[in-house]
Amino acid sequence: MRKCIKCGEKAQVYLPQHRLSLCKQHYLEWFDNRVEKTIKEFKMFNRKDKVLVAVSGGKDSLSLWKSLINLGYDADGFYINLGIGEYSQKSYELAKSFSEKVGKTLHVVSLYKEMVPIPEMRKYDSRPACSVCGTVKRYYMNKFAKENGYKIIATGHNLDDEAAVLFSNTLNWSVEYLKRQYPVLPEEDGFIRKVKPLCKISEKESAMYAVLSGIDYIEEECPFSEGATSIDYKMFLAQLEEKSPGTKLRFYSEFLRKMYPILKQSEEKPKLQPCKICGEPSTNEICAFCNLKMKISQKEAKA
């Protein structure tokens, strides 16, 4: 029987990459400490800042929200109803009931009201659903945070997400993306600071935190994410991790420590301008979101 290295009680969790056995209480503490350390390491925010946590109803974003509350940060939730059938309905209910349980505000924006739901939007844009959805999510997160006095947007991207993106960017030598792959995107020219406090926490670790904290979360993946190449990269990295625990964390952390500073030196900041239609920052005269909106209204007018 494994014993918790802190108190000697029966361990509930074993973390091979850290060679750590922990009981429930000490695991929850370990997780909160790790989140706190990451926030400090990357100077993400402090206890005076108003943080908006983007919650999807999944394990990562709800665990992040819970951990920030435990750590005493001023963190409210933000949910975008993407209108993806039962998946969105269920994830909304879970996010809502979590917010009621912890007594925090959950702000909600619904695509049914604002434009059209994601499945509908796919008819108007030939890009993969996840790209369209990403444009919409980024737009509303930034706009909402700015209009409601939040200085920081925190998302639940975890180590598996970041390592898979890093792997893909490296395979393709997407140097411009690599230059921006950092867990803090600074505030500038109309963009609110965006942070990823779970970037050094694996998917398994955040799932265990959610379960041991009694958080009800949506287990299903978004139906549109099926077949995404990132899933193959995640599986491949998981195989390496299985053979050699700690590989994923080393791949990502050492990139940030050794490679990112070199790449950053040659980063050319894209010139941003306010979108002519909505005023949000954009690299073009008209932002990606307004472009999408225009396509929708043109096609609707034709129909």
Give min distance, CB of 286 to ligand AMP, in A.
Answer: 24
35 binds Zn ion (CB under 5 A): no
Site membership for ligand AMP, residue 192 (CB under 6 A): no
Residue 222 or 287 having the CB closest to Zn ion? 287
Quick note: the x/- pattern for ligand AMP over 114-153, rule CB under 6 A, is -----------------------x----------------
Among 38, 142, 155, 169, binds ligand AMP (CB under 6 A): 155
- Residue 184 CB, shortest distance to Zn ion, in Å, is 24
Per partner kind, with CB cut-offs from 5 to 8 A, the member of Zn ion, ligand AMP, none near residue 215 is none
Instruction: State the binding partner of 277 from Zn ion, ligand AMP, none, CB within 5 to 8 A by kind.
Output: Zn ion
Q: Which of 140, 277, 281, 296 binds Zn ion (CB under 5 A)?
A: 277
Query: Do residues 228 and 130 make contact, with C-beta atoms less than 8 angstroms apart?
Result: yes
Q: Which of 59, 60, 129, 203 binds ligand AMP (CB under 6 A)?
A: 60
Which among 233, 228, 218, 232 is positioned nearest to 84, based on CA atoms? 218
The reply on whether position 82 binds ligand AMP by CB under 6 A is: yes
Is position 55 an interface residue for ligand AMP (rule: CB under 6 A)?
Answer: yes
Compare residues 221 and 267 and give the one whose CB is closer to ligand AMP. 221
* 78 near ligand AMP (CB under 6 A): yes
C-alpha 62/C-alpha 65 separation (Å) is 5
A 10 A CB-CB count for 236 gives: 12
Work out what residue 7 binds among Zn ion, ligand AMP, none; the CB cut-off runs from 5 to 8 Å by kind.
Answer: Zn ion
Give the span between the Cα atoms of 148 and 31, in whole angstroms.
29
Stretch touching ligand AMP by CB under 6 A, among 19-27, 74-82, 183-191, 279-287:
74-82
Binding site for ligand AMP (CB under 6 A): 54-56, 60-61, 78-80, 82, 137, 155-157
Binding site for Zn ion (CB under 5 A): 4, 6-7, 23, 26, 275, 277-278, 287, 290
